[in-house]
Structure 1
């Protein structure tokens, strides 16, 4: 089975870290969750984003997610794939060159990547998306387009595979997003 890296930060979307972390392990994959400036055993705060008929999602306090690996000791060469959850974390993680270098490793080595929701902000900051169809939360469409990508406006419960990357607009897409990502890992 695959060894996967999951990059997180404070106020990552709760479902978008918890569900893939647990589901990918249930499928037999190893998943190391890391965050810059934090060590194994530290936690990140999560936020729950919900769709309640407003002009954008609502945000509520989530849980404390415990990291199981240390960012500074992580070598992306040791991993077969990358998971980038959404929430508010990608907005500031994209300012950290070490994080961008990790993302670039997976792109440069054509390793499978699963990105969801606002995670596209991190991907768009790290690499050119030219030639890729990328889905994300609709507010991230400008980021995808400015990075040269073809924004895929798909249903909130859908996912799209483009090359070695699977993307989705938000957590309601988990069944399809994780199924497509797991197919890339086989």
Structure 2
């Protein structure tokens, strides 16, 4: 298996499971994952939030963990990375306002490099203008942004455990979709796991 160098874009109040679990899965299969956040350096960390589905009209939010930053956002060269992961949570709503974040996302899209985005991460994809003509999903509250950005909305199942692939783009609605989302992303990366 060819080891891929993967960039993960996070910020304060990124969804805990949507950052930590994909990081661990990708590392487990041997990929090299670097985490970055605007205004943060290696050794810094971001706060996470745990979102749960407990029967309310929307998800609940609880304090999460500290999530380590391993690369310098200002110095990162996207040309040196094979793929991009964008977790959800509250971080995407403000990360999408950073011109450098948009530049990074557009680099991966223009190069046809694999992009995995989940939940509210698709707010960044919409802001970057890369959803035109793409089939994707997201947390249901993000549907208007996906559609206004020219994306074709793919339904979310009742357990929010489904994922979609369109070319180099792999999207899912929330952390219950990790098994399908990461399986599809590993397929796009060309990673094969022997069973």
| TM over 0.5, shorter chain | yes
In the alignment, the residues of structure 2 paired with residue 129 and residue 120 of structure 1 have an alpha-carbon distance, to the nearest angstrom, of 9
* Residue 154 of structure 1: how far off its partner (Å): 2.3
Name the residue aligned to 1:184.
188
Runs of 4+ residues over 6 Å off in structure 1: none
Structure 2: 5+ residue runs without aligned partners? 191-195
SS in structure 1 opposite 2:156? coil
User: Which has the larger displacement, 122-131 or 38-47?
Assistant: 122-131
CA distance in 1, matches of 2:132, 2:104: 19
Partner of 2:172: 168
For residues 60-90 of structure 1, the C-alpha deviation after alignment (integer angstroms, 9 at most, x for no partner) is 1100101111111101100000000000000
For residues 121-156 of structure 1, what are the alpha-carbon distances to aligned partners after superposition, in whole Å with 9 as ceiling and x for unaligned?
A: 001000241211111000000110010000111221
Which residue does 2:40 correspond to in 1? 38
1:27 counterpart = 2:29: yes
What SS class does the counterpart of residue 6 from structure 1 fall into?
A: strand
- Residue 98 of structure 2 corresponds to which residue in structure 1? 96
Aligned length: 186
Q: CA RMSD in A?
A: 0.6
- TM-score, normalised relative to structure 1: 0.99
Partner Cα separation in structure 1 for residue 130 and residue 75 of structure 2: 27
**Partner Cα separation in structure 1 for residue 156 and residue 112 of structure 2:** 24
Name the SS for the 1:118 alignment partner: helix
Gaps of 5+ in 1: none
2:109 touches 2:130 (CA, 8 Å); kept in 1? no
Q: TM-score, normalised by structure 2?
A: 0.94
**Is residue 79 of structure 1 aligned with residue 87 of structure 2?**
no
* 1:94-121 deviations in Å (ceiling 9; x for gaps): 0000000000000000000000000000
